[in-house]
Amino acid sequence: MHIKKNVVDNIIGTLLNIDSKSKDNLQACLDLKEMGLRPELHPIPKASDKTYLPPASFTMSYMEKDDLLRIIKNVKMPDGYASNVSCCVKPQKRTIKGMKSHDGHILMQQLLPIALRKSISKKVAESLIELSTFFREICSKTLRVEDLNRLESRIPNILCQLEMIFSPGFFTIMVHLTVHLVAESKLGGPVHYRWMYPVKRYLHRLKFHVRNKAAPEGSISKGYLLEELLTFCSH
> In Å, how far are 100, 120, 179 from 85, measured between CA atoms?
9, 21, 28
pLDDT of residue 77: 81
1 band by pLDDT with thresholds 50, 70 and 90? low
β partners of residue 90? 95
Question: What mean pLDDT comes out for the span 77-82?
Answer: 78
pLDDT of residue 122: 86
pLDDT of residue 24: 81
Same domain, 85 and 136: yes
pLDDT digits (tens, 9 = 90+) for 89-148: 888 888 888 888 888 888 888 888 888 887 888 888 899 999 999 999 998 888 899 999
Question: What mean pLDDT comes out for the span 70-80?
Answer: 83
Same domain, 112 and 157: yes
Instruction: Report the percent of the chain where pLDDT is more than 70.
Output: 100
pTM of the predicted structure, to 2 decimals: 0.82
Same domain, 185 and 216: no
Question: What mean pLDDT comes out for the span 161-178?
Answer: 88
pLDDT of residue 150: 93
Question: What mean pLDDT comes out for the span 36-65?
Answer: 84
pLDDT digits (tens, 9 = 90+) for 174-212: 888 999 999 989 998 888 888 888 888 888 888 888 888
Same domain, 206 and 127: no
- Do 32 and 24 form a contact (C-beta atoms < 8 A)? no
Same domain, 174 and 223: no
**Mean pLDDT, the chain, as a whole number?**
86
Q: What is the gyration radius of the CA atoms in the chain, in angstroms? A: 21
Residue 110 CB-density burial (10 A; 0-12 exposed, 13-18 middle, 19+ buried): middle
Same domain, 176 and 107: yes
Same domain, 135 and 230: no
pLDDT digits (tens, 9 = 90+) for 131-148: 999 999 998 888 899 999
Determine the Cα–Cα distance for residues 8 and 204; give it in Å rounded to an integer.
22
Determine the Cα–Cα distance for residues 205 and 227; give it in Å rounded to an integer.
11
Same domain, 50 and 123: yes
Helix, strand or coil for residue 206?
helix
Same domain, 136 and 226: no
Same domain, 183 and 212: no
Look at the chain and report how many structural domains it folds into. 2
Same domain, 155 and 106: yes
End-of-domain residue from the set 158, 177, 192: 192
Is 149's pLDDT higher than 90? Answer: yes
Is 79's pLDDT higher than 80? Answer: no
**What is the residue range of 202's domain?**
197-234
Helix, strand or coil for residue 5?
helix
Same domain, 177 and 216: no
